C-alpha cells in the first residue's frame, strides 16, 4: 500500500510537471510578444522625436525588458561595426530569441528590413504597422494560451489522476 | 581619424592600405554608380585599385555605403540629406548626388543615389598665424573678416585655425557649425577638432538662427560661421555687427570682385560689415592667400 501511495505521488508530480511543460511555450510566447509591444512603444519616440541613432535606440528601448534587453544590447554593439548588415543581424536576433513562434518571425523580420532606411515620417508608419501587427499576434497568442495552453495541461493532469485512481 | 574608418569593407580596407604619401594628401573619395572609385589628392588623381574592391561600384553597394555612413539611421540624417550631404564625426563631409523629390517647390527628400563625394576634413595648424600676421601688418588686428574661395580652396581649414588662435588668445568665440564641418562634432564623443579654450559650438544650427541664439545667450566677442548664404544669413550678420560682435565668415567665390558683384554683399564690404576680406586659392596648395583686402584700402 505504501508503495502504491508513493508511486501515485510520483505519477501525480510527473503529470503536473508535464502539464506545466506543455503550457510553457504558450506562456513564453505571450510574454515575449508583450515585451516586443513595449519595446516598439519605447522605440517610437526615440526614432521619431529624439532621432537617436539606431544602435543606441534599440539598446535604450530594450532596457528593463527581461527577454529582450541583452539581445538588443548585443544588436546595438553589432550595429556599431560598419561591416554589420542590419537585416541579417536583426534576423539573427530573432532566431536567437526562444519565445517566438514561426508565425511571429515574418512580422518582426519585415520590421528589421525597413528599420532606419527612411525619414522619420516613414519610420513612424513602419513602426505603427509593426505595433498593430504585434498587437494582433499578442491577441492570437493569448487566445492560444487560454485554448490550447490550458487544455493540454488539464488533459495531462487528468490522465495522471486516472492512472493514480486505477493504481489505487 | 580618416573618414574611411566609417566605410564598410572592402572600401575601408582598400583605403587603409593606401601608401602613406597618398593617404596624407587625400582630399576626396568619389563613388559613382558603374564607375571605379576615384581618389583625388593634392596634385594627383587615381582610381582606387585593391584586390578586394570591385572595379566598379553598383547602385546597391552605394545604398549600403550610405546606410552604413548614416549609422543605419537615415531618419536622423534626413534634414542633412535633403540638403545633399551628411557629415561624419571629425568634420568629414559626404556630398550626395541623387534625384530630388520636390513638393511645393521644396526638396522633401532624395532618392536614387548615384554618387557620393567623401571630403576629408583636416585640421591644419599654422596658416591662421600667417593670416593674423598679415592682417596685423595692415593694422587690422581685430574686426570682422571674410574668407573667400571657390570650393576646396581651404576656407574651412583656415577658419578653424583662426578660431583656435583667437580663442586661445582669450576672445570668446561662438562657432555656428550648421554642417558640423568646423568643429567635427562626433555625437556624445565631443568635437573632432581643437577650437581653443574659449570656444562654444552651436552644432547643426541654421546660420541665421544660430547667430541670433549666440547673441542672445552666449555673449560672444566673435561669431564664426562657415559658408554664408544670402538673405537671412546676411541680416543676422548685420545684427551681430550692430551688437558690437565681430564676425568671421567664409563665402564661396573665386575673387573679391565676384563677391562685390552680389548686391547683398556689397554693403557689407562698403559699410564696414567686414573690415578685411581674404581671397584664397586651391593651388599650389589649398589655403594659399591670393588677395588681401582691408577696409583701409577704400578709405
Residue B143 pLDDT > 60: yes
How large is the average pLDDT for residues A109-130? Answer: 91
CATH number of domain containing B240: 3.40.50.300
B54/B135 same-domain check: no
Distance CA B230, CA B250 (A): 12
Partner B contacted by A81 (CB < 8 A): no
B151/B252 same-domain check: yes
B72/B151 same-domain check: no
State the average pLDDT for chain A: 86
**B230 vs A3 pLDDT, higher one:** B230
B61/B157 same-domain check: no
How large is the average pLDDT for residues B9-35? Answer: 92
For residue range B241-277, what is the model confidence (pLDDT) as tens digits? 999 999 999 999 988 888 888 888 888 877 778 888 8
Cβ distance B71 to A118 less than 8 Å, yes or no, reads no
Cβ distance B71 to A117 less than 8 Å, yes or no, reads no
B173/B272 same-domain check: yes
Residue B296 pLDDT > 70: no
Instruction: Among A43, A45, A50, A53, pick the best mutation site for testing chain B contact (most B Cβ within 10 A).
Output: A53
Domain final residue pick, B86, B119, B152? B119
* Percentage with pLDDT > 70 across chain A: 89
**A21 vs B23 pLDDT, higher one:** B23
B83/B165 same-domain check: no
Cβ distance B78 to A119 less than 8 Å, yes or no, reads yes
Cβ neighbors of B2 (< 8 A, separation 6 or more) are: B15, B23, B26, B92, B120
pLDDT at position A70: 94
Domain final residue pick, B54, B89, B119? B119
Q: Which chain A residues contact residue B71 at CB under 8 A?
A: 53-55, 79
For residue range B65-117, what is the model confidence (pLDDT) as tens digits? 999 999 999 999 888 888 889 888 877 889 999 988 888 888 878 888 999 99
* Percentage with pLDDT > 90 across chain B: 44
pLDDT at position B230: 85
Contact by Cβ (8 Å): B96, B69: no
Q: Which three cell numbers stand for residue B13?
A: 580596407
Distance CA A41, CA A15 (A): 40
B299 inside domain? no
The pTM score is 0.75
CATH number of domain containing B102: 3.30.450
Residue A19 pLDDT > 50: yes
- Considering CB atoms only, which of A51, A55, A85 is closest to B75? A51
How large is the average pLDDT for residues B149-172? Answer: 90
How large is the average pLDDT for residues B34-47? Answer: 92
Residue B2 pLDDT > 50: yes
How large is the average pLDDT for residues B202-219? Answer: 93
B63/B149 same-domain check: no
For residue range A63-103, what is the model confidence (pLDDT) as tens digits? 999 989 999 999 999 999 999 999 999 999 999 888 888 88
Residue B173 pLDDT > 80: yes
Q: Which domain holds residue B143?
A: 127-294
Determine the length of chain A.
168
B105/B157 same-domain check: no
Query: What DSSP designation does B6 have?
Result: G
Residue A75, CB-side half-sphere exposure with 13 Å CA sphere: 31
Q: Which chain A residues contact residue B78 at CB under 8 A?
A: 119-120
Q: Where are the alpha helices (DSSP H) in A49-119?
A: 54-62, 69-79, 86-96, 105-114
- Tell me the CA distances in angstroms from B63 to B4, B12, B66, B72, B178, one per residue in order: 16, 16, 5, 11, 25
State the average pLDDT for chain B: 87
How large is the average pLDDT for residues B42-65? Answer: 90
Cβ distance A82 to B74 less than 8 Å, yes or no, reads no
Q: Which chain B residues contact residue A86 at CB under 8 A?
A: 67, 72
Cβ distance A54 to B71 less than 8 Å, yes or no, reads yes
Cβ distance B73 to A86 less than 8 Å, yes or no, reads no
pLDDT at position A168: 66
Number of domains in chain B: 2
Cβ distance A51 to B8 less than 8 Å, yes or no, reads no
Partner B contacted by A65 (CB < 8 A): no
Which band of pLDDT confidence, cut at 50, 70 and 90, is reported for residue A147? confident
B75 to chain A: closest CA residue: A119
B142/B253 same-domain check: yes
Residue B31 pLDDT > 90: yes
Q: How far apart are the first and last CA of chain B?
A: 46
**B29 vs B281 pLDDT, higher one:** B29
Instruction: Among B1, B65, B76, B89, pick the best mutation site for testing chain A contact (most A Cβ within 10 A).
Output: B76
Cβ distance A53 to B6 less than 8 Å, yes or no, reads no
pLDDT at position B297: 62
B106/B139 same-domain check: no
- Considering CB atoms only, which of A47, A82, A85 is closest to B75? A47
Q: Which chain A residues contact residue B109 at CB under 8 A?
A: 119
Residue B30 pLDDT > 90: yes
Q: Which chain B residues contact residue A48 at CB under 8 A?
A: 75
B150/B272 same-domain check: yes
3-state SS, one letter per residue, for B57-118:
ECHHHHHHHHHHHCCCCHHHCHHHHHCCEEEECCCEEEEEEEEEEEECCEEEEEEEEEEEEE
Residue B187 pLDDT > 80: no
Partner B contacted by A25 (CB < 8 A): no
Cβ neighbors of B28 (< 8 A, separation 6 or more) are: B39, B40, B117, B118, B119, B120, B152
Q: What is the ipTM of this complex?
A: 0.78
Which band of pLDDT confidence, cut at 50, 70 and 90, is reported for residue B299? very low
Partner A contacted by B124 (CB < 8 A): no
**B136 vs B218 pLDDT, higher one:** B218
B243/B263 same-domain check: yes
Domain final residue pick, B69, B96, B119? B119
Amino acid at each position: 500500500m505504501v508503495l502504491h501511495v508513493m508511486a501515485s505521488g510520483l505519477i501525480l508530480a510527473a503529470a503536473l510537471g508535464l502539464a506545466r511543460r506543455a503550457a510553457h511555450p504558450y506562456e513564453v510566447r505571450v510574454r515575449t510578444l508583450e515585451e516586443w509591444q513595449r519595446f516598439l512603444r519605447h522605440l517610437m519616440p526615440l526614432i521619431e522625436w529624439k532621432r537617436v541613432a539606431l544602435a543606441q535606440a534599440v539598446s535604450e528601448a530594450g532596457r528593463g525588458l527581461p527577454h529582450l534587453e541583452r539581445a538588443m544590447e548585443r544588436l546595438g554593439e553589432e550595429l556599431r561595426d560598419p561591416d554589420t548588415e542590419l537585416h541579417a543581424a536583426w534576423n539573427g536576433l530573432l532566431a536567437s530569441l526562444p519565445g517566438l513562434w514561426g508565425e511571429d518571425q515574418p512580422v518582426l523580420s519585415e520590421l528589421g528590413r525597413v528599420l532606419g532606411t527612411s525619414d522619420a515620417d516613414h519610420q513612424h508608419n513602419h513602426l505603427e504597422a509593426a505595433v498593430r501587427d504585434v498587437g494582433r499576434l499578442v491577441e492570437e497568442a493569448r487566445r492560444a494560451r487560454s485554448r490550447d495552453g490550458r487544455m493540454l495541461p488539464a488533459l495531462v493532469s487528468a490522465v495522471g489522476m486516472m492512472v493514480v485512481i486505477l493504481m489505487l | 581619424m580618416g573618414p574611411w574608418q566609417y566605410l564598410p569593407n572592402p572600401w575601408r580596407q582598400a583605403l587603409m592600405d593606401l601608401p602613406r604619401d597618398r593617404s596624407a594628401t587625400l582630399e576626396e573619395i568619389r563613388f559613382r554608380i558603374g564607375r571605379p572609385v576615384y581618389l583625388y589628392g593634392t596634385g594627383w588623381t587615381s582610381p582606387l585599385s585593391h584586390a578586394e574592391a570591385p572595379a566598379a561600384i553598383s547602385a546597391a553597394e552605394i545604398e549600403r555605403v550610405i546606410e552604413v555612413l548614416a549609422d543605419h539611421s537615415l531618419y536622423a540624417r534626413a534634414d542633412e540629406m535633403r540638403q545633399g550631404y551628411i557629415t561624419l564625426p571629425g568634420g568629414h563631409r559626404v556630398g550626395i548626388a541623387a534625384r530630388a523629390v520636390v513638393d511645393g517647390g521644396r526638396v522633401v527628400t532624395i532618392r536614387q543615389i548615384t554618387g557620393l563625394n567623401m571630403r576629408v576634413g583636416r585640421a591644419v595648424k599654422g596658416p591662421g598665424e600667417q593670416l593674423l600676421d598679415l592682417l596685423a601688418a595692415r593694422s587690422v588686428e581685430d574686426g570682422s573678416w571674410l574668407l573667400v574661395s571657390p570650393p576646396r580652396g581651404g576656407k574651412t581649414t583656415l577658419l578653424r585655425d583662426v578660431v583656435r588662435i583667437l580663442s586661445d588668445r582669450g576672445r570668446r568665440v561662438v562657432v555656428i557649425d550648421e554642417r558640423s564641418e568646423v568643429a567635427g562634432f562626433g555625437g556624445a564623443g565631443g568635437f573632432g577638432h581643437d577650437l581653443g579654450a574659449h570656444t562654444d559650438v552651436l552644432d547643426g544650427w541654421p546660420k541665421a538662427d544660430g547667430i541670433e541664439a549666440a547673441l542672445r545667450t552666449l555673449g560672444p566677442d566673435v561669431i564664426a560661421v562657415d559658408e554664408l548664404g544670402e538673405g537671412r544669413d546676411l541680416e543676422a550678420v548685420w545684427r551681430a555687427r550692430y551688437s558690437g560682435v565681430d564676425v568671421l565668415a567664409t563665402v564661396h567665390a573665386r575673387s573679391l570682385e565676384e563677391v562685390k558683384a552680389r548686391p547683398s554683399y556689397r554693403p557689407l564690404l562698403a559699410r564696414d560689415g567686414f573690415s578685411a576680406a581674404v581671397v584664397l586659392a586651391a593651388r599650389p596648395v589649398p589655403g594659399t592667400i591670393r588677395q588681401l583686402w582691408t577696409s583701409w584700402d577704400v578709405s
